Amino acid sequence: MEIKLKIQLKPTPHQSVKMTRGGRTYQPKKILDYKAKVQEAVREQLPSGFSCIGADANIHITKLHYLFEYTKSTPKYKRGGLIPKNSRPDLHDNLNKALFDALEGIVWERDQNIVAMDDVRKYYAPEDAIIINIQCLNS
């Protein structure tokens, strides 16, 4: 089984937990809102009758592209396709963490079951988006 998703949102890196003066920890509102929007977009794209990939299944991410809208300083003659993005945020730690946490409970039960990731990249593109292809290896 393979699932192909295109999420029309600006990729947002996961921030560490914040702490109040009283010592209580909380997740920043920006991250909570991002996760909610990702979940809503994914639910709309999943086929009807889809059930979560079980905790015993191995998951292979065959494609994961983070697309960031061109900066205003990008010359128009370069704005035609994808331009590799070599600036922040960090690709593997911060971007993946927020996305995988948002997909947990909707696409898969546990993100620790991801055993392989191929073609993970970040680009500048005409519009913000996240493109992800997920394959369940046990079906």
Q: Is the pLDDT of residue 16 over 80?
A: no
What are the structural domain ranges in the chain? 2-136
Which CATH architecture best describes the domain 2-136? 2-Layer Sandwich (3.30)
- Mean pLDDT over 49-76 rounds to 91
Whether this model's pTM surpasses 0.85: yes
Confidence of residue 68 (pLDDT cuts 50, 70, 90): very high
Task: Give 69's Cβ-side CA count (13 Å radius).
Answer: 7
For residues 108 and 129, give the distance between their C-alpha atoms in angstroms, rounded to a whole number.
21
**Digit-coded pLDDT (tens) for 92-137:** 778 888 899 999 999 999 888 999 999 999 999 999 999 999 998 8
Question: pLDDT value at position 139?
Answer: 58
